[in-house]
């Protein structure tokens, strides 16, 4: 096992870290150490002695005793055994600059408890196969843990196994060294660096480009001085947003503007007047502690955000000022930092598309829109890198009424699936928390499960809420509970096996909800007959047209289907479109279903050529509604009935009765709150749809007799 990468990254004449000559005698009893590293971002390093090196993983959120938590662990370079005794300060300018603390240490054994002479062999084999299970005997962390590699990447998962040390309660571990008892500020303030075995060396520290003053008012003064007197930008009011690719638009949240300063993970909230408001918001500061190590952020404290701040801009990071960088560069550096923070939120943005921005954001909590010119750095005072546009002229874009968003108290579920981090805010503008999403899927489970059971699922997940980074997940691997089934399917395109999640029961649905799943997209066929769809769709995508046109097209499709004796259902897409579902029997292939839908859509296009089109190229549609019937294919998905959508209104793809379809229907009125009440009062409009079966052969013959 080589330490070449470790040595290449470090300058041992500047850093007090041990080199490969600082050897520690090998022991039959394997050691482990967990070091907390206050670098660019506070994180934990888990190191296991395997042979003559420490195999190491960087764990951003640290270990958890909750078996439901799957903590990301990034495999990094091997470290020398002497590193297990290293605690101190890595000077600025060096790799991993920051303070290192020995947070926990002890010994471990592989789960099978091999004989001492075979321990190294067993651990090396487990490392190569990508699945390590060990029993830790530390001073803080104890019990059985698994490290599971995600495919052939450097990303692993650190998972606690169920045993007497497991707990679903949040752990309030002290942030102090298990060896020296000091916290980060004491370690960083020391003139010497602890190196283990009682040795100390003088601390080398470079002056930061921006100081960390004692008084809050000096933070503003130091930033202004270091940036040639250029303070944070104040938007200049304009009548119109800038519709150009060099302008980025964001909603402007109502609230107080602050500088949020971090020094060794400790936050300080400073007003524009230079006043320290840290003690005013004790709960907020407690949430923010340790989110970043060193930096200054431009933030807004909004009454709509119950547990954090909206972050607009990056002022300084790790001792470097960013005010002279372009806005685009600042945002590029800022986004990955915010995505990993649970109490800092990044506002959504739209680049150069004024109408799209206005449609989604010029309402509700957003009192205005702000445009940023991406190629400019900070400007003084009220110049034009930021333009603020009021929303008074856009009253027609108001969201659904506040009365429809009286959130019910989430119920406590006592089953196998457990809710974690229930207070995490998913929709800040609606005060919707993760617990509300979990409870929504609990309440609608009897209605959504029949539509997704036995079907491979593609998930859209937002673990940090809809303002954070979302991602699309098909392959469900890693540590999974026994009650969550998966279905392996080999993709002909990629020649890879995809393990799709299956939602067979309530616990599996709630497990997916706890992963941050907002949107659930099932196949149109089941695992029992993958080539035989049970339900196919005609998707009406308005492409920016008014809903009255979508309504008109849907009514025409319904009329044609009625004429040929085909039973159908209608549901909202959860956004601006409509989905027309057609149940099928057992003997129809995807190709037959797609051809039938295409024939129906062709007749619709012939009758309404100025409103709708079958053209697949968006650039050639000329603003017409898109009749999408091509997604009826093996491996394709569509959003499930009663699935949430990541829209500002927390809207739902909601089934309707055909006589409920009206020209002024608003998708936002069918949301996380109202759909639950609707089901209680009206029942499930699609309850019988899955039990019906249209005969496409008969329908195709009848369709030939229909005259345009």
| End-of-domain residue from the set 462, 493, 522 | 522
493 lies in the same domain as 552: no
Q: How far apart are CA 430 and CA 493, in angstroms?
A: 41
- The pLDDT, as a whole number, for residue 391 is 36
Provide the token pair at 652.
Answer: 């739902």
Q: Do residues 224 and 294 both lie within one domain?
A: yes
Q: Phi and psi for 639 in degrees, rounded to 5?
A: -60, 135
Question: Domain check: are 539 and 518 in the same one?
Answer: no
For residue 584, the domain's CATH number is 3.90.920.10
Q: Tell whether 269 is covered by a domain.
A: yes
Residue 407 lies in a domain: no
Would you state the pLDDT for residue 615? 93
- Give CA–CA dist 197/278, Å, rounded: 39
> Alpha helices of 453-523 — where are they, by DSSP H?
506-514
Instruction: From 15, 142, 147, select the one nearest 88 (Cα to Cα).
Output: 15
Is the domain of 36 the same as that of 167? yes
Dmax of the chain from CA atoms?
94
Where are the extended beta strands (E) located within 514-630?
A: 517-522, 535-541, 569-572, 578-583, 612-613, 625-628
> Phi-psi region for residue 100, left (φ > 0), alpha (ψ -120 to 50) or beta?
beta
Q: Domain for residue 445, yes or no?
A: yes
Do 356 and 489 fall within a single domain?
no
Same domain, 97 and 198: yes
**pLDDT, block means (10 residues), the chain with 708 residues:** 82 81 55 90 92 91 89 92 89 84 92 72 89 93 92 88 86 87 78 39 40 45 48 52 55 76 83 78 82 83 72 80 75 75 68 43 39 45 40 33 68 92 87 95 97 96 82 82 91 76 97 95 95 95 91 97 96 95 90 95 96 91 93 93 94 96 91 94 91 91 82
The reply to whether 652 falls in a domain is no
Please tell me whether residues 231 and 338 are part of one structural domain.
yes
3-state helix, strand, coil in the chain (%, to 5): 25, 30, 45
**φ and ψ of 77, to 5 deg:** -65, 155
Of 488, 522, 556, the one marking the end of a domain is: 522
Query: What is the tally of structural domains in the chain?
Result: 4
Q: Which of 372, 392, 412 is the last residue of a domain?
A: 392
Domain shared by 516 and 548, yes or no:
no
> What is the predicted pLDDT for the residue at 40?
74
Does pTM surpass 0.75? Answer: no
Write the CA distances from 675 to 113, 258, 598, 678, integer angstroms: 53, 38, 32, 5
- Other beta carbons within 10 angstroms of residue 367's beta carbon come to 17
Distance CA 681, CA 168 (A): 36
Q: Please indicate, yes or no, if residue 295 is contained in any of the structural domains.
A: yes
Q: Give the DSSP letter of residue 609.
A: T
For residue 510, the enclosing domain spans 425-522
Q: Collect all residues with Cβ–Cβ distance below 8 Å to 129 and sequence separation of at least 6.
A: none
192 and 224 belong to one structural domain: no
**Are 551 and 698 contained in the same domain?**
yes
Q: Rounded to whole angstroms, how far apart are CA atoms 326 and 499?
A: 42
CA distance 371 to 368: 10
Has residue 167 been placed in a domain?
A: yes
Tokens of 210: 């921006």
CATH number of the domain encompassing residue 224: 3.30.470.30
Asked whether residue 29 is domain-assigned, the answer is: yes
Name, in order, each residue with C-beta under 8 angstroms of 567's C-beta and a sequence gap of 6 or more: 561, 582, 583, 689, 692, 694
Length of the chain: 708
Give the residue carrying structure tokens 């009424």.
Answer: 401
Indicate if 249 and 185 belong to the same structural domain: no
Residue tagged 């955000």 (tokens): 305
Buried/exposed 448-473: b ≥16 CB within 10 Å, e otherwise: bbbbbbbbbbbbbbbbbbbbbebeeb
Q: Residue 671 has what pLDDT?
A: 95
In this structure, the answer to whether residues 544 and 589 fall within a common structural domain is yes
Cα separation, 373 vs 370, in Å, equals 10
Confirm whether 666 is domain-assigned.
Answer: no
State phi, psi for 243 to the nearest 5 degrees.
Answer: -95, 85
């Amino acid at each position: 096992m080589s330490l070449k990468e470790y040595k290449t990254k470090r300058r041992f004449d500047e850093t007090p870290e041990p080199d490969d000559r600082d050897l520690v005698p090998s022991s039959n009893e394997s050691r482990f150490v967990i070091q907390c590293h206050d670098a660019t971002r506070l994180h934990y390093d888990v190191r296991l002695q395997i042979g003559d090196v420490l195999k190491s993983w960087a764990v951003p959120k640290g270990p958890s005793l909750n078996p439901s938590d799957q903590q990301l662990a990034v495999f990094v370079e091997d470290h020398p055994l002497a590193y297990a005794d290293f605690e101190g300060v890595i000077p600025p300018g060096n790799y991993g600059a920051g303070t290192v603390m020995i947070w926990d240490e002890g010994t471990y054994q592989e789960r099978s408890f091999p004989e001492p002479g075979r321990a190294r062999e067993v651990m090396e084999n487990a490392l190569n196969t990508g699945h390590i299970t060990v029993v830790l005997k530390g001073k803080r962390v104890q019990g059985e843990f698994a490290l599971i590699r995600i495919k052939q990447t450097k990303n692993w998962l650190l998972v606690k196994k169920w045993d007497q040390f497991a707990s679903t309660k949040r752990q309030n571990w002290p942030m102090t060294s298990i060896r020296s008892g000091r916290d980060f500020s004491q370690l960083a303030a020391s003139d010497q660096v602890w190196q283990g075995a009682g040795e100390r060396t003088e601390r080398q520290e470079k002056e930061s480009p921006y100081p960390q003053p004692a008084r809050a008012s000096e933070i503003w003064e130091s930033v202004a001085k270091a940036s040639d007197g250029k303070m944070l930008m104040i938007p200049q009011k304009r009548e119109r947003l800038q519709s150009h690719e060099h302008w980025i638009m964001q909603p402007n949240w109502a609230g107080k503007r602050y500088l949020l300063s971090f020094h060794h993970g400790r936050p300080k909230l400073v007003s524009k007047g230079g006043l320290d408001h840290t003690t005013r918001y004790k709960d907020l500061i407690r949430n923010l502690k340790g989110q970043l190590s060193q930096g200054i952020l431009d933030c807004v404290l909004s009454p709509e955000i119950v547990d954090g701040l909206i972050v607009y801009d990056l002022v300084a990071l790790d001792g470097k000022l960013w005010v002279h960088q372009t806005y685009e560069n600042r945002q590029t550096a800022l986004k990955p930092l915010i995505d990993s923070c649970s109490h800092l939120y990044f506002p959504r943005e739209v680049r150069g598309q004024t109408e799209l921005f206005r449609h989604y954001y010029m309402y509700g909590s957003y009192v205005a829109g702000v445009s940023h010119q991406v190629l400019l750095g900070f400007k003084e005072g009220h110049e034009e890198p930021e333009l603020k546009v009021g929303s008074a002229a856009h009253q027609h874009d108001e969201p659904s009424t506040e009365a429809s968003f009286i959130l019910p108290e989430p119920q406590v579920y006592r089953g196998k699936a457990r809710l974690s981090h229930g207070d995490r805010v998913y929709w800040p503008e609606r005060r919707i928390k993760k617990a509300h999403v979990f409870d929504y899927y609990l309440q609608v489970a009897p209605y959504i499960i029949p539509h997704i059971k036995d079907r491979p699922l593609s998930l859209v997940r937002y673990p940090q809420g809809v303002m954070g980074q979302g991602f699309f997940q098909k392959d469900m691997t890693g540590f999974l509970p026994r009650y969550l089934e998966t279905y392996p399917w080999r993709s002909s395109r990629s020649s890879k096996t995809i393990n799709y999640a299956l939602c067979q029961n309530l616990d599996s649905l709630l497990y997916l909800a706890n992963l941050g799943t907002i949107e659930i997209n099932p196949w149109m066929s089941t695992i029992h007959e993958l080539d035989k769809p049970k339900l196919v769709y005609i998707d009406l995508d308005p492409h920016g047209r008014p809903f009255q046109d979508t309504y008109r097209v849907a009514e025409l499709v319904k009329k044609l289907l009625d004429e040929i004796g085909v039973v159908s259902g209608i549901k909202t897409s959860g956004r601006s479109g409509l989905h027309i579902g057609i149940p099928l029997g057992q003997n129809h292939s995807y190709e037959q279903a797609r051809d039938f839908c295409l024939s129906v859509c062709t007749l619709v296009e012939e009758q309404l050529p100025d409103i709708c089109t079958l053209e697949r190229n968006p650039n050639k549609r000329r603003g017409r509604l898109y009749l999408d019937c091509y997604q009826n294919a093996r491996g394709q998905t569509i959003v499930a009935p009663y699935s949430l959508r990541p829209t500002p209104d927390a809207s739902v793809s909601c089934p309707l009765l055909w006589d409920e379809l009206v020209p002024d229907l608003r998708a936002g009125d069918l949301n996380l709150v109202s759909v639950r009440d609707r089901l209680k009062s009206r029942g499930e409009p699609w309850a019988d749809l899955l039990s019906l079966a249209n005969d496409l052969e008969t329908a195709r013959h009848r369709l030939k007799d229909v005259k345009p």
